[in-house]
Amino acid sequence: LLTNAAFVERALEILSLSGADLSQLTIEITETAALASLESAEAAISKFSAKGIKFSIDDYGTGQSTLSYLKNLSATEIKIDQSFIRSIATSTTNQIMVRSTIEMAHALGFKVVAEGAEDEATVSVLQGLDCDVIQGWYIGKPVSKEEFSDRWSAVGTNGDEAKTNSLLPIAS
């Protein structure tokens, strides 16, 4: 949808009317979607970025032009695809690939998210590799919007880290 100018304008209008702090919003884009029209995608990303919205490159490592994609799109975060993460505790090859990706991303100023952490061993390896954010069922299973809303309301506004961690079924 980044190549659809009408969508971009309408989305920006809705977001502006929402009253939300747009600097807290990160939009995930897939490499495949953006590469369909890199010029249009970059123009759309620039419009969103001007409002403080950040972008994350989802499924990183699965596309054809990953390095040029990092160079050309104004993203602030990459999400390493779960196909590299799920066997990281047992695959030396995946460890090497993920380690080098994290190091390169950090050197370029990107935040790194690993998706697909399903067990303690995987989380431990990712923590050892200095991964910024770890997602997966080991950290927390998906919940209904009602359950999330209940947990969010229980946290309150005082910023208490222990209460914030209660949003997660299993805190890491």
Task: Give this prediction's pTM.
Answer: 0.77
Other beta carbons within 10 Å of 136: 20
- Parallel, antiparallel, or unpaired: how do β-strands 111-115 and 133-135 relate? parallel
For residue 89, the one-letter residue type is: A
Question: Above pLDDT 90, what percent of the chain?
Answer: 48
pLDDT at 66 over 70: no
Phi, psi of 54, rounded to the nearest 5 degrees: -100, 160
Q: What is the mean pLDDT of residues 100-108?
A: 94
- Return the structure tokens found at 152: 């969010």
114-146 confidence digits (pLDDT tens): 999 999 999 999 999 999 999 999 988 888 889
Distance CA 14, CA 52 (A): 15
Nearest to 97 by CA among 134, 137, 129, 56: 129
